Amino acid sequence: MKRIIISGYAHSVLQEMLSNAGFEVIYNPTISYQELLNEIEPAVGLITTTRIKADEMLLRKATNLKFIGRLGSGMDLIDVEFAKQKNIKCLNSPEGNRNAVAEHTLALLLNLMNKINISYDALKQNIWAREENRGDELEGKIVGIIGFGNTGKRFAELLQPFNVTVLAYDKYKFGFASNYIKQASFEQICKQANVISFHVPLTAETHYYANDSFFNSLQQQPYFLNTCRGKVTNTKALINALENKKIKAAGLDVLENEQLSTYTTDEKIMLQQLIRFNNVIITPHTAGVTAQSLFKMSKIMANKILDL
């Protein structure tokens, strides 16, 4: 019987659909890299999340592997190029969590604009800070979206009722402008946007996309949002931008290093610097983690595997 290993948390629908199709499914969401290395050889399929790298060493051991399925969107933990050399098909399921990430991005933005966290923190200290926390309305703003794939497009759709203008840039997509969504250049967004939100995959090209040069080019002191990948943003450059008021506030769901136990002294200092800003909100990479997205990603992945 053909074996598939699921190495991260998934909805039971994934295992059920694959088992019903005749696969032997090994569901081990807490498996370690070393354990997976020892067990991967007979598997025809591997399903991953953000826990374990499917690197060259693992793929060399996977002599029977036909496909890797990524529950979610980012493929940065999979050595896609080496997988191609071994004729291993790489799949992902960004359709499953795009709405969850888009809603979370909108929540971060509205929280920052209305100073919800700041005013609540003051209230917990018995301070009724009403005038000090006067908000900023989204209506009429220009929202810049960098990356117009599954999540960027869905975020733009959620913005429709707010009567905003969306300026969207995607190096690899064209002809998507309609109504309030305008196709724009990267430079136009940096010059005109009151809000800038990143929705790009992590590649060599997008690593540190938001760097000192980017922040220094901003002309409207925008709200800055990153819910895609931590290494898209240079943390030191972000801190500089906050200190120099190049941006009004920052909402992050991702960090350069999300393994807090491995932090160097410099990384600890930078995280503490970020946390001390009252115009910064950081969530622990939970944007795509909803009950609904878990089901949708799992079902979509099962269907893609069965389509193979």
Burial tier of 76 (Cβ tally within 10 Å: 0-12, 13-18, 19+): middle
The predicted pLDDT at position 148 comes to 97
Q: What are 154-181's pLDDT values in tens digits?
A: 999 999 999 999 999 999 999 999 999 9
Residue 305 lies in a domain: no
pTM: 0.93
Residue 306 lies in a domain: no
The predicted pLDDT at position 273 comes to 98
The predicted pLDDT at position 218 comes to 98
Q: In the structure encoding, which two tokens stand for residue 34, read together? A: 């070393």
Residue 73 has pLDDT above 90, yes or no: no
Residue 301 lies in a domain: no
Residue 107 lies in a domain: yes
Handedness of CA 248, 253, 256, 258 (dihedral sign): positive
Residues 161, 228 share a domain: yes
Range of the domain at 152: 96-282
Residue 50 has pLDDT above 90, yes or no: no
End-to-end CA distance of the chain: 17
Q: What is the mean pLDDT of residues 116-133?
A: 96
Residue 86 lies in a domain: yes
Burial tier of 192 (Cβ tally within 10 Å: 0-12, 13-18, 19+): middle
Angle CA 299–255–83, to nearest 5: 50
The predicted pLDDT at position 83 comes to 95
> Residue 178: how many CA atoms within 13 Å on its side-chain side?
6
Torsion angle of alpha carbons 178, 179, 183, 189, nearest 10°? -150
pLDDT band at 51; cut points 50, 70, 90:
confident
For residues 151 and 95, give the distance between their C-alpha atoms in angstroms, rounded to a whole number. 8
Residue 72 lies in a domain: yes
The predicted pLDDT at position 175 comes to 94
The predicted pLDDT at position 113 comes to 98
The predicted pLDDT at position 259 comes to 93
Taking Cα atoms as reference points, which of 106, 216, 122 lies closest to residue 160? 106
Q: What are 228-252's pLDDT values in tens digits?
A: 999 999 999 999 999 999 999 999 9
Residues 140, 208 share a domain: yes
Residue 299 lies in a domain: no
Residue 1 has pLDDT above 90, yes or no: no
Phi and psi at residue 119, to the nearest 5°: -70, -35
Residues 87, 103 share a domain: no
Task: Give me the number of domains the chain comprises.
Answer: 2
Helix (H, G, I), strand (E, B) or coil at 14: helix
Residues 29, 71: contact at Cβ < 8 Å? no
Q: Which CATH number goes with the domain that contains 138?
A: 3.40.50.720
Residues 231, 74: contact at Cβ < 8 Å? no
Residue 288 lies in a domain: no
Residues 58, 110 share a domain: no
Residues 117, 217 share a domain: yes
Residue 76 has pLDDT above 90, yes or no: no
